[in-house]
Each structure stands twice: as C-alpha cells, then as structure tokens.
Amino acid sequence: MSYGSGSSNWGGSGYSNCVQQCMASYGAPAMVTASATYAASATASAMAGTGTTHTIVVAPSQGVLRMVPFAVNASAGDTLYWVWGANNHTVTKSSELSPCNKTTDGTAFASGTQNASFTFTEMVNDTNPVFYYCGTPGHCPKGMFGVINPPNVENNAATSVASMMPAMMANSSTLSAMYAASNISSNPMAATWGDSMDMSTMPDWSQSLMAENVLYTRSFIAANPSIMAADGTLNMGAANGQFMVPQDVSQLNSAGSSSSAASSSSSPSGSAAAAGGAAASASGASSASPSATGSTSGARANVASGALLGVAAIAATFLSL
C-alpha cells in the first residue's frame, strides 16, 4: 500500500511491525460510521464577514474529540462558523507555541462551554495563523484543537506533514491504527490532505496530536467525499449537514504517551470565559513565529440553533492492511 501521492512505500518492517503490534493489542482496526445531522448554515444575523463562510464541526459526535476539519484556509472578510455536534465543548483561542492554553495577549475569543447545535462565529481580518482549542479539561491534550491558516511549506520540506508523517506512523501504534482504519487508500485527495502543513514550530509533544488530527480529517473526507472540491478545498456545507462520522480509533490508546506528554508540558485552562450574544471586536495580528501571537478575529456572534444533532450508528466495517 502506498501513502499519499504514492511516492512513499509502506512496505518497511517498522511500519508493518507497528501495525501488527497495534492489531495484536486492540484487534483489527474498525471503521464505525454514524449519520450526523446539524445546522448546516448560520442565519444572516450571525454572519459577520462578507466573504466565504467556513464551517467547522466541534466534536462531530459525542466522544469524538476533534475539530473537523482540523485546518481551514480563510481570507480576510471570510467568516468562521463553528457548530457543536456534541455536548460540553468550547472554542477558545490559543497559540502555536501553546495550543492547549488560552492566549494572554488580549485578543482571545472564547465561546464558553456549549452543547450540541450551538453555533459561534468569528470574522477573519487577515491570513495570519490562529490556533484554537476546546477548554474542557482533558480534551485538548487528547487532540481537540484546530488551526486557521496553518503555516505551509513545500511537501518535500523536512518539516512538512508529508515528510514527517511516515516516520511518526512507523513509531506510533496510534497513528498506524488511525491510518489502517481511515479508508483513504482509495481516495488520493483525502490521502494527501494537509501534506504541506509545517510542523516545525509546533511544540514537540503536540506534533503527534497534529498528525492524529490530520489523519482524522483525512478519514472524515474519505467517509464524506462530497465535502472536498476538485481544487482540494473543503466545503462542509456541501453535505447539507449530514455526515458519516468515522470512529476515532486513537481513543483505544487514550492512556498513551501523547496525552501524558501534553498534560505535563502544557495543560489547558480549566474553563473558557462565556461569551454572550455578539461580542466586541478584537484587534491585533497573529504571527507564524512562536514568539508572537495575535488574532485574525474581529466581530463575533453566538447563535443557538433550533436544529438538534442526531447520531445513529448504522454500520461497522473492518479494514486491515
């Protein structure tokens, strides 16, 4: 089996041994899918920007601690539209240097702890990278964070996701299990999503979590191919609010080293400050450098949607390499 564009072959003994050990410990990786419905678009009063609206699902189902998609490329004037798919989560601004802690530069946005069908919007003022996370204790160290306008490099650069992922997978039963269960081998566009993202300035403990998030988004794309356009951009609205939600097999390794390292290196804040109604604009600009943080966010609004999330398990598919 080949990874990504096919330039890297996965026949090496390191990867095979890793997968075999994972399957011996946890059984053959499974893809459990579910049908999820949510409010597919924000109301006119919620939209702060004048450009494209980018939908991000906060935990697509209960127990799946992911922001989907993990990364979004947005232009000034665009609107970020988060919609909750499960209960007890926040959207809180952090930084690349410290992804699991609320930024202290005075530009932070925070939704407060919210439940399924809640929505939250932010207007994009520039294209500087912005990191955010779920402030519910324990969620971010398990990988529940995301990025707007992630730093990018050439795919063949040493610090790109494309270059670093093979070695990371060969040394991580969690990542190899996620790949085995992802069903991306038959979807080249899903298999290469996020290849150019730069991991160089991410804290060491968070790089494996970033890789998990990339793999989960790829799995989500493979399960919902209609959300990816021909040019590789994602449009969550293309699914009309109905998704197949892949199982996050990283939960099998919930006591693994990634969580331990994250907890010891950078613990998330206990809770996020609640934001009621439309909040005031935040100014400032974020830098790709870890020495400076800022915000691409301006006007923001909270909208409680009338639609409810419904999740019903419909199938289990067993995959193996």
For the stretch 27-63, pLDDT in tens is 444 444 445 555 544 443 344 556 899 999 999 999 9
Task: Name the 3-class secondary structure at 4.
Answer: coil
Give the residue extent of every domain in the chain.
Answer: 2-318
- Closest of 21, 26, 206, 46 to residue 122, by C-alpha: 46
Distances (CA, A) of 241 to 71, 146, 214, 226, 237: 19, 20, 21, 12, 6
Query: Maximum Cα–Cα distance for the chain, whole Å?
Result: 56
φ/ψ bin of 263: left (φ > 0), alpha (ψ from -120 to 50), beta (otherwise): alpha
Q: Would you report the helix, strand and coil content of the chain in percent, each value rounded to 5?
A: 25, 25, 50
Low-confidence spans in the chain with pLDDT less than 50: 1-13, 15-16, 19, 22-23, 26-34, 40-47, 255-321
Neighbours of 229 (CB within 10 A): 11
- Closest of 2, 320, 1, 8 to residue 162, by C-alpha: 8
Can you give the pLDDT at residue 21? 55
* Dist CA 144 CA 148 (whole Å): 14
Can you give the pLDDT at residue 113? 97
Looking at domain 2-318, its CATH superfamily turns out to be: Cupredoxins -  blue copper proteins (2.60.40.420)
Q: What is the pTM of this model?
A: 0.71
Distances (CA, A) of 263 to 133, 147, 212, 254, 270: 14, 20, 17, 12, 13
- Closest of 185, 189, 155 to residue 10, by C-alpha: 185
Can you give the pLDDT at residue 105? 80
Can you give the pLDDT at residue 36? 57
Question: pLDDT tens digit string along 213-253?
Answer: 999 999 999 999 999 998 888 988 877 778 899 999 987 65
Can you give the pLDDT at residue 38? 56
Can you give the pLDDT at residue 225? 93
